[in-house]
Amino acid sequence: MKKNYFFLILLLILSFNSFSQTHTWTGFGGDTNWFNASNWDIGSVPSSFDTTIIPANFFVEIIEDSAFSGIIQLLDNATLSIENNLTLNQSIITSAESTVIWKKGIYKGGLIVNGLFKIESFETKEFDNAFINNYGTINVLNSGIIHFLNEVSIFNSIDAVISIESSGGFLEQGGIATINNEGLIEMPSNEMSRSYYMVFDLNNTGVINVGENQTFLFLVSSQNLNNLETGILEGVGALDITANFTNTGTFSPAGSGTVGMMDVVNNFNFPSEATVEIDIEGTNPSEFDLIRVFGFPILEGNIDVNLEYAPEIDDEFIIITANAITSCNLPEYITATFNGLEYKFLVICNPTNLTLRMVEIVLDIHDYESNNISFFTNPNPAVNFTQFVFPKEILEIYSETYISIFNFIGQEVAQVPITSETVSFNSSNFASGFYFAQLKAENKVLATTKFVMR
């Protein structure tokens, strides 16, 4: 009996191999029609278990009927346009310079994107039992709603991009849909206001960026948005979140190093493991980041301030607004550094906003304690004049050496050129108080010291 089963399985394998063929596109039929047998080297149209090859520089269209294949390989500069149903026993595999255009129909099977996958037109499109591994670019253009049926998974790799330039959405319908993002999912800024529905499970360890006038809507409480430890939610548009939202990653208005305002509607999840990254370039509202929360947040996470200027005592920055802050369990103070000085901010939880107030300036303790170069003033305190002392080897090692002097609020008040290992400084025209000096060479800080002028 077992022998009979063995021979039956062997017969099925041999039968499969005998029917599987390789079809290579030649275009000898004189058109771009997938279903014209004359366009294929063996004079027949690919079927479910065949390997299909579209060589470089050819354009092929699936329009008039449903198409089938085992594997489809697109070589450099080849393009496949899909305007009907396509069922794959395995996958489409694209080269780095090839393009798949999907305009209409039901897509079943796999897709490995090394080049460009364009989704365009408002015709009905459905992924059904499909997986997409993106190592290149997925560009969504004027697509409307794309339905996910049965089991659908999308993997966006670390250097890959999913760029959505359309209203519409990805909609899980009658199954389980998951996107795992390690790269970038974005809605680029546009003068036209657009919204895109994200109704599926999304695990983000990369970047989700929403541009100006754009809205990502993560909807339905049965779905999950998980912004994980390395995940970043950034941009100057809006995130509307009613999905089950967990966040151990980062909110960054406008992105790191750029100032802007981000809107978060409904769920703003900011637990102790999460971080808000704030850029500050000045005291005007347009010069520092702001998150506007249209909801009732609980604030418990970390605040990471990137200073791009020297604030003064009592400068204030409103960094989060809300309908009402439900509770606030944040550190009393946070610090940030700029130009070798450390600035201390009081964290103020008001009923409808979170404010930072600069209250103290101190020497950057990390820089000071790790300072291996002997750099000091003599006398200290200084009366009318002082000398800066440092190793003479500095002049032999570095060029363009000088000393920057800062007052207690971090303003640079003088620059002193260096011509020898001791530098005299006339302090008679300066107000009494604490000062900081930095030994600099070739645009970097070599050492820092503090002194008093009387």
For residues 346 and 427, membership in a common domain is answered with no
Residues 245 and 96 in one domain: yes
For the CA atoms of 263, 267, 270, 273, what is the dihedral angle to 10 degrees? -120
Range of the domain at 406: 371-453
Q: Are residues 376 and 350 in the same domain?
A: no
Query: Is 117 among the domain residues?
Result: yes
- Phi and psi, residue 270, nearest 5°: -135, 70
Tell me, yes or no, whether 16 lies in a domain. Answer: no
Cβ atoms of 330 and 349 closer than 8 Å: yes
Q: Is residue 147 part of a domain?
A: yes
Residue 35 lies in a domain: no
According to the model, what pLDDT value does residue 8 have? 44
> What is the C-alpha to C-alpha distance for residues 292 and 444, in angstroms, rounded to an integer?
37
Total number of domains constituting the chain: 2
Same domain, 308 and 405: no
pLDDT given for residue 10 in this prediction: 38
Query: How far is 150 from 177, CA to CA, in rounded Å?
Result: 8
Q: C-alpha angle with apex 174: 198 to 238, nearest 5 degrees? A: 10
* Regions of the chain short of the pLDDT cut 70: 1-19, 362-372
| Within a domain: 23 | no
**162/117 Cα distance (integer angstroms):** 9
pTM for this model (two decimals): 0.80
Confirm whether 21 is domain-assigned: no
The pLDDT assigned to 371 comes to: 52
CA atoms within 13 A on the CB side of 441: 14
Query: How high is the pLDDT of residue 367?
Result: 42
In a domain, 326, yes or no: yes
**Domain boundary, last residue among 333, 360, 387:** 360
Residue 243's nearest CA partner among 212, 229, 214, 222 is: 222
Instruction: Give pLDDT, residue 200.
Output: 96
Residues 325 and 380 in one domain: no
Domain boundary among 360, 385, 402: 360
Place of tokens 């999304």: 202
User: 423, 416 in Cβ contact below 8 A?
Assistant: yes
Residue 311: which of 285, 333, 280 has the closest Cα? 280
Asked which of 360, 390, 424 is the last residue of a domain, the reply is 360
